[in-house]
Amino acid sequence: MSNKTAAIIGGGVIGGGWAARFLLNGWNVRVYDLADDAERKINEMLDNARGSLPQLADVKMPPEGALSFVADVKSAVENADWIQESVPERIEIKHSVFKEIQNHAPESAVLGSSTSGYKPSVLQQGATRPGQILVAHPFNPVYLLPLVEVVAGAETDPAVVDRACEILTLIGMKPLKVRKEIDAHIADRFLEAVWREGLWLIKDGVATTEEIDDAIRYGFGLRWAQMGLFETYRVAGGEAGMAHFIAQFGPCLQWPWTKLMDVPELTDELVDTIATQSDEQSGMHSIRELERIRDNNLVAIMRGLKQTDWGAGQLLNEHDQRMKDAT
Amino acid sequence: MSNKTAAIIGGGVIGGGWAARFLLNGWNVRVYDLADDAERKINEMLDNARGSLPQLADVKMPPEGALSFVADVKSAVENADWIQESVPERIEIKHSVFKEIQNHAPESAVLGSSTSGYKPSVLQQGATRPGQILVAHPFNPVYLLPLVEVVAGAETDPAVVDRACEILTLIGMKPLKVRKEIDAHIADRFLEAVWREGLWLIKDGVATTEEIDDAIRYGFGLRWAQMGLFETYRVAGGEAGMAHFIAQFGPCLQWPWTKLMDVPELTDELVDTIATQSDEQSGMHSIRELERIRDNNLVAIMRGLKQTDWGAGQLLNEHDQRMKDAT
């Protein structure tokens, strides 16, 4: 992977995270950012990344690539293999940056956008080389979290999508090919729903930010670090399976639980689609096996957190101490 | 904690999880359930709990309590210290079960309900001893996940709430006192919002159950195992802080990102409330410190998952192997 170069256009929290991810995986990185303090901030982020990302590996990381800060888009993107745009979420800025990128980028480069909201087809409007443009939406901190949503627009070359996924895998990420363009892709739609509900709970005086965070990190947050929504519910449904779970809990969607009440109709077809997809995803394991896998994962996560003495880990340490004191 | 007795009324996935949690923490447990296979299922769940919960402790667990299955509510609740109702979510069943419980329970017992939807004041309708009744809503698997939402109704005795929280802490849980009754309490309102959005994504053909689960477990699920929504965003906001984050991302709530569009108005007052609460929660740490804490936690979680070779851990192992193969 040596001798590869990534051009980072926009070096904020997301662009800087991309820079660290590429650098520590042996890529050379050229950063273009308008802000005076971009270099300082990225170097601080790099210190964090150097202290954490290598701990995830049981083998030696490749030698770090060379990092440089450049004065214009042209200098960043020339001869680059991957060009990643992480500028503010305003379409006129994105379009202007992509225009400049296309003027100077190699035809072999992947042109990725970190946009959390725009569809790739919107980014491609007016593009001279739309085939190279796709969304590669990462999650903060980019140097640690594996997920990247990879979304092709109407004019994206499928070969570019494949190459993008291959490269992302090589730098330790989990590319998730999104099958249909949609505003905000997938994950941020959930974050949006949760964020909005959180705002309501605070506005209505039901919970504080800390209480909401505790409700997440001592409960379903621990589940979601290893299984997602559907696999978790599959296990919860027990031996009767996913269709049973939906039959049991589906109607709750018509209760006045959240502030926002427009719900999809739970037709037989939709229930069947979900049950079938869940079978395809997890049907190779029995419920018992899935429970054991889940439990082993939860133990592993929480044992890890004991060592950092944080959240659930701190709670366990305090509980240990209490049990020690009691004997 | 020896010689304490818990009565478990309803021994399904939740009631069985409560039974395991109490038993392994040295309590005697009496289970009442109508189903023929409740005993078999609870014993299977106990096997899982015995194989996992003790691994979270660095000290010896207390000797297991005695488990018995009884034929009626009366035999279960007599002389019990904690009585936990986990019967189906239908109010007429809940009311009938609570009536029977109150006929035979000691006046000193905590009468907890596992309800995920009903307010405690609704459970207290027609109660003869409403002061003992509260919601103690746990999360599956109850023997591993720490969170319990503790909700008092209008007539709940505050001393009972305090005793409940004390007992829950002693059996290794994290009681979260919910400050205001609300349908579905706190955590399930988020799960409800996410569940509904997930159904839309599937219905519209945007993502499969597996893709949705991957979007969660390789991304924000890893974050939420250690920090929640607001502390995570606080860190993401960087040096400018929480108010800056809300100013930057708040408007996104008016974009057509989710299917459900009724949003709270982001008044200055609301922004200020959130920023203030966030300060109180996390202001003792600098952003830099919080980043390091977060990174250490994420490393700990993912190192743990490497040992179970699941999700992000499996990904890292495969990446290790790939890097090994490349050298």
Q: Which of A55, A146, A217 sits opposite B299 (nearest CB)?
A: A55
pLDDT in tens, chain B (327 residues): 458 999 999 999 899 999 999 999 999 999 999 999 999 999 988 988 898 888 877 778 889 999 999 999 999 999 999 999 999 989 999 999 999 999 999 999 999 999 998 999 999 999 999 999 999 999 988 988 889 999 999 999 999 999 999 999 888 889 999 999 998 899 998 988 888 788 778 878 888 888 888 899 888 998 899 887 877 777 776 666 666 666 666 545 555 555 454 444 556 665 555 555 656 666 677 665 666 677 677 778 878 888 888 776 876 788 788 667 876
CB atoms within 10 A of CB A166: 11
State whether A207 and B179 contact (CB < 8 Å): yes
Q: Which residues of B touch A288 (CB under 8 A)?
A: 44
Check: CB of residue B181 under 8 Å from CB of residue B121.
yes
d(CA B101, CA B84): 10
Which of B41, B150, B204, B229 is the best residue to mutate to test the A interface, defined by the most A CB atoms within 10 Å of its own CB?
B229
Length of chain B: 327
The letter for the amino acid at A185 is H
A102: distance to nearest CA of chain B, Å?
A: 28
**Domains observed in chain A:** 5-178 (3.40.50.720), 187-326 (no CATH)
Spatial distance between the Cα atoms of B269 and A39, rounded to a whole number of angstroms? 35
Q: Are B121 and B153 in contact (CB under 8 A)?
A: yes
- Using a CB-CB distance cutoff of 8 angstroms, which residues of chain B are in contact with residue A219? 139, 145-147, 187
**E strand residue ranges, chain B:** 5-9, 28-32, 67-70, 82-85, 110-113, 133-138, 147-152, 174-178
Residue entry with tokens 């990190």: A217
Q: Which two tokens stand for residue A150?
A: 């990879």
* Among A112, A142, A116, residue whose Cα is nearest residue A48: A142
CA A247 – CA A249 distance, rounded (Å): 6
Candidates A117, A139, A215; nearest CB to B147: A215
For residues A80 and B236, give the distance between their C-alpha atoms in angstroms, rounded to a whole number: 28
| DSSP sequence for B156-202 | --HHHHHHHHHHHHHTT-EEEEESS--TTTTHHHHHHHHHHHHHHHH
Say yes or no for a CB contact (<8 Å) between A117 and B257.
yes
A6/chain B closest Cα distance in angstroms: 20
For residues B69 and A103, give the distance between their C-alpha atoms in angstroms, rounded to a whole number: 76
Crossing angle of helices B13-24 and B38-52, in 10° steps, is 50
State mean pLDDT over A81-106: 96
Task: Please check whether residue B26 is in contact with residue B64, taking contact to mean a CB–CB distance below 8 angstroms.
Answer: yes
User: Under an 8 A CB cutoff, do B277 and A230 touch?
Assistant: no
Q: Say whether A215 and B149 touch across the interface (CB within 8 A).
A: yes
For chain B, give me the number of helices (H) and strands (E)? 14, 8
Contact A322 B170 (CB under 8 A): yes
My answer on whether omega of the bond before A88 falls inside 30° of 0, hence cis, is: no
B186 neighbors B178 (Cβ within 8 angstroms): yes
Helix (H) or strand (E) holding B214: helix B209-215
Q: Tell me which residue has tokens 């994206």.
A: A156
Query: What pTM, to 2 d.p., does this model score?
Result: 0.88
